[in-house]
Amino acid sequence: MMLTSVARARVQDWWAAIDWPQARRATFRALRRAVAPVGALVALLGAWQAYVVFNDINPLILPAPSQVWQDTLGDWWQLQPALVVTLQETAVGFAYAFVFGLGTAGLLDLIPLARRALYPLFVASQSIPIVALAPLLQLWFGTDLTAKVIVIVLVCFFPITVAGLDGLRATDPDLIRLYRGFGASPWRIFRAVRLPNALPALFSGVRIAITYSVIGAIFSEYVGADQGLGVYLREKQAAFRVDLVIGAIAVTALASVALFLLTLLVERLAIPWFYAERRRVNGDG
């Protein structure tokens, strides 16, 4: 009951502080900013289409975008369930990576010995070619979710750990002293001061990690699975369906961008104070 009243007070504070006209302006600004990249993409696709049409390229080697679109739509009944499976794996894998990344950041921050002992190992883990490791994981854990989650965690925990650790360590020492003056324990200081202080940096890491996680999921399927985008890609490649391979790649890219934008939205809602402070300093949004 106590907890719910605390939660309610937090949510009320948060809701009351939303500046709606500002939120509307920010949305319009974001849409305006999207015009240029979308225009560039359209130009690129146009050039591709023109190249294929005017040079009469064999569609088995390089299909035109219009053909990719048609064929992918035609094969959507196969592609769509594969996409759903991959996104589910991505979600589970990313959740594990987030918990693991944040946990290691906290551990490395609180225990200097752990930082000295483990940080180099984490750096080294990033140089492991996943291509080499994934078949081994499959051998050890089979084709169920465990091996896939391990691959995804390996691919995307690192940005979260590094960003989280940087954010935790960048806490204003005067703020920590202030809390020490209140008689606060190290754990209280971590919870009340350092963790919230690390959130903006942490979100930068999450933005990178979430796009990696899709790649990680597809890769883990590519090596060994019976459904998902990785399996779909492998099968279509074996059948020399260049059109469907390109279509699946485009769908993957779109899914990554969508997840990235979702992270941005969550970030805006979770740390409005950070953006408000930045607006005040920069005089813009």
Partner 1 sequence: MRPSQSATPAATEPPFTAGVPPAASIAARGISQVYAGDDGRPVPALDDVTLAVAPGEFAAIIGPSGCGKSTLLNILAGLDAPTAGDVLLDGVVTPPRARLGQVGLMPQRDLLLPWRTALGNAVAGLEVRGVPRGEARRQARELFARFGLAQFAGAYPYALSGGMRQRVALVRSALAAGPVLLLDEPFGALDALTRADLRHWLLEAWQALGKTIILVTHDVDESLLLADRVVVMSPRPGQLRGIIPVALPRPRDLAVQASPAFADLRRQVLDLLEAHP
Nearer CB in complex with partner 1: 23/41: 23
The smaller minimum CB distance to partner 1, of residues 14 and 51, is found at 14
282 scored as a contact of partner 1 (CB under 8 A)? no
DSSP letter string over 253-273?
A: HHHHHHHHHHHHHHHHHH-HH
Q: Which amino acid is at 115?
A: R
Length of the chain: 285
- Residue placing its CB nearer to partner 1 in the complex, 171 or 213: 171
Which one of 11-19, 96-104, 118-126, 136-144 is the stretch in contact with partner 1 (CB under 8 A)? 11-19
Instruction: Tell whether residue 144 is a contact of partner 1 (CB under 8 A).
Output: no
Q: Which stretch binds partner 1 (CB under 8 A): 33-41, 42-50, 68-76, 192-200?
A: 192-200
Stretch that binds partner 1, among 147-155, 187-195, 207-215, 240-248 (CB under 8 A): 187-195
Q: Which of residues 16-75 bind partner 1 (CB under 8 A)?
A: 16-17
Q: Which residues of 24-62 are buried (b: 16+ CB within 10 A; e: fewer)?
A: eeeeeeeeeeeeeeeeeeeeeeeebeeebeeeeeeeeeb
Tell which residue, 151, 115, 285, has the closest CA to residue 224: 151
Which of the stretches 66-74, 173-181, 234-242, 260-268 binds partner 1 when contact is defined by CB under 8 A? 173-181
Task: Copy the structure tokens of residue 284.
Answer: 């813009």
Q: Distance between CA 204 and CA 171 in Å, rounded?
A: 16
HSE, side-chain direction, 13 A CA sphere, residue 222:
19
174 binds partner 1 (CB under 8 A): yes
Residue 192 found at the interface with partner 1 (CB under 8 A): yes
Q: Which of 18, 43, 60, 178 touches partner 1 (CB under 8 A)?
A: 178
**3-state class percentages of the chain: helix first, strand second, coil last, to nearest 5:** 85, 0, 15
Q: Is 62 helix (H, G, I), strand (E, B) or coil?
A: coil
Member of 98, 157, 179, 203 binding partner 1 (CB under 8 A): 179
Q: Does 262 bind partner 1 (CB under 8 A)?
A: no
What CA–CA distance (Å, rounded) separates 285 from 26? 7
Contact predicate 109/194, CB 8 Å: yes
The residue ranges that bind partner 1 (CB under 8 A) are 2, 5-6, 9, 13, 16-17, 172, 174-175, 177-184, 188, 192-193, 196, 199, 271, 273-274, 276-277, 280
